[in-house]
Structure 1
């Protein structure tokens, strides 16, 4: 395992970026076309979704979502709840192929799940220890046949784990790398084709970690201070993948501003604008506020030829009451921001 520690040089940068920055760029509006059943009850329950695409029957694709008090919930594309997996206090969830991972701070572990493409049942395989308290964010990636899981922590640590399909089943991933950033982290997303990891530092901005070169220092993608739309807290993030490794977009939740900032997927990571999700008057589906986690699939789904964005909604319609996940047609976002 190779460790990279470079905290001291960057603390001043993080310290100067507190509070919302003024933003005068493009802010488009879109509406949600569907939503999941609510997590009934009071409190900050829903957090992070992940989209599993059934390649043999896209209409039978699934949505996994975390309940921070209980575990992982499973939904159909129509939003109906299918399963509850009470594995503990999980914060984030992500997947590659038929394997999902979740950050479980009840037991300080990565929780592993199998998705059966025939029965559409999600099962808890088991847990693997992180060796560190309170795993917070998590994201999954693939490098060739190697499964990757990045776990983020509130002290700025990123753990990058790897596993073969055999070691997934035996719950014995290897810790390949540790990267240290200045302050609290949560959201992250792997760009598999470019061997890159994007990570959100909540009070500062977004970083890109080169997974090809362990000696390379993380690169700043954007900061709150740059006034491109980010505010504290920088939260969930995901990628819309284009036709090749150079095309596509990174979407990041600027939680306190109730908006999402869009960037080019590749350097120099140019900002392309921001959008908010407002009330859908035609369907009665409410707008979205204070989003924590989000996920994107660029795979065609029924009625969604360019894919789907799904986001956590804090207020449904009142803050911390019946929280759920809202779904947005990617085509609407692309048209609203005039993306390619």
Structure 2
């Protein structure tokens, strides 16, 4: 792995020296949106159930080439979204609620394929869980070939020594499924997830490192073997997905006006044909920087903002996810789903943005 250049290392030290505590977004940026190419969201989910609090947090998207059934409803895929005070929502690609799992204090959620239980391929969901007495990673299964009342169901958990699990993402490394947990205080834990003979999850810790200060956003780019981590008040780091590389990393982008305004929150990777993009959330000015990452080094291509349209715009985002390629009929080339901190009606929710609109706005 290439070490930081001197200039980047100095920038990291300067910013890190100021990052002694979390700068939580408290709505002070409401109505103040940074510079970025404007796009609009064509649809949104209902408000999460917890009213009057910072509750909706992080989404994950899964799509199928053939329709599946969730709770008796046929759908081409789903969006999982956390209410970090109450549990996990499963939404259709039209934004409607398909299922709610009252699973407690789930914060970040992700989804992965590649594991089978009882000889049946499963979609696995994982979420960082801050519920007292079971902190760690809570796991869920969805059987895409299931019928009748088929739905997302609890599977098990990965225990950890992290006191307050925060960020979470899955990654594929060869045939292995990896689960990456980011703690509130900057702990980094990486596990290999397998299925035991009894059909229950089995985990093996393969890396532990310290990021340095409060961190959350997590996204993997398997094609380049990259693991991107957002240190909220410092900047965007690239780690190698190979756990043997330990805590070696490169600072891709420090916190800086016009690029990332603290907090750096959600991170996600989108495949668009041969191109791959990393999208982040600059919570402090409600903008979304986009880097192209399929070249020798990440290249910032611009930022977008989500303005009022069919539904209200997006401010103060905690989390986001993206999926390229066909995602139902409404999003034939991909979709980005984004948490909205200040919703115009009701409490916090999630909004869907067509990837074609973002691509056109940034001339990608």
TM class by shorter chain equals 0.7 to 0.9
2:110 is matched with 94
Q: 1:175 aligns with which of 199, 205, 212?
A: 205
Measured in 1, the distance between the counterparts of 2:16 and 2:97 equals: 40
Unaligned residue ranges in structure 1 (runs of 5+):
1-8
Q: 1:222 aligns with which of 241, 247, 253?
A: 253
Measured in 2, the distance between the counterparts of 1:43 and 1:60 equals: 32
- Deviations 1:99-128 (CA, angstroms, capped at 9, x unpaired): 010000112121001012134510011222
2:349 is matched with 324
Matches within 5 A, 1:10-29: 12-16=14-18, 27-29=36-38
Alignment of 1:129 with 2:138, yes or no, is no
1:268 is matched with 297
Shift of 1:289: 0.6
Q: 2:135 aligns with which of 84, 108, 113?
A: 108
Over the aligned positions, Cα root-mean-square deviation in angstroms equals: 2.4
Q: Give the 3-state SS of the residue equivalent to 2:228 in structure 1.
A: strand
Measured in 1, the distance between the counterparts of 2:361 and 2:239 equals: 30
Q: 1:80 aligns with which of 91, 96, 100?
A: 96
Matches within 5 A, 1:1-340: 12-16=14-18, 27-40=36-49, 41-57=51-67, 59-97=75-113, 98-106=123-131, 107-117=134-144, 118-119=146-147, 121-166=151-196, 169-212=199-242, 214=245, 217-225=248-256, 227-244=257-274, 247-266=275-294, 267-280=296-309, 283=310, 285-301=311-327, 302-317=329-344, 321-339=346-364
Measured in 2, the distance between the counterparts of 1:132 and 1:151 equals: 9
Measured in 1, the distance between the counterparts of 2:56 and 2:103 equals: 15
Q: Give the 3-state SS of the residue equivalent to 2:66 in structure 1.
A: coil
Q: Give the 3-state SS of the residue equivalent to 2:60 in structure 1.
A: strand
CA 1:276/1:174 → structure 2, altered by over 3 Å: closer, same or farther?
A: same
Q: TM-score, structure 2 length as denominator?
A: 0.82
Shift of 1:248: 1.3
Measured in 2, the distance between the counterparts of 1:287 and 1:312 equals: 11
Whether contact under 8 Å (1:63, 1:76) holds in the other structure is yes
Q: Give the 3-state SS of the residue equivalent to 1:136 in structure 2.
A: strand
1:3 is matched with none
Whether contact under 8 Å (1:147, 1:165) holds in the other structure is no
Measured in 2, the distance between the counterparts of 1:194 and 1:314 equals: 32
Whether contact under 8 Å (2:35, 2:305) holds in the other structure is no
Whether contact under 8 Å (2:45, 2:95) holds in the other structure is yes
Shift of 1:26: 6.4
Whether contact under 8 Å (1:228, 1:271) holds in the other structure is no
Measured in 2, the distance between the counterparts of 1:167 and 1:51 equals: 29
Q: Give the 3-state SS of the residue equivalent to 2:223 in structure 1.
A: helix
Measured in 1, the distance between the counterparts of 2:197 and 2:273 equals: 31
Whether contact under 8 Å (1:35, 1:327) holds in the other structure is yes
**After TM superposition, what 4+ stretches of structure 1 lie above 3 angstroms from structure 2?**
9-13, 16-20, 165-169
Q: Give the 3-state SS of the residue equivalent to 1:315 in structure 2.
A: coil
Q: Give the 3-state SS of the residue equivalent to 2:245 in structure 1.
A: coil
- Deviations 1:145-183 (CA, angstroms, capped at 9, x unpaired): 211111001221110111124489423211101122211
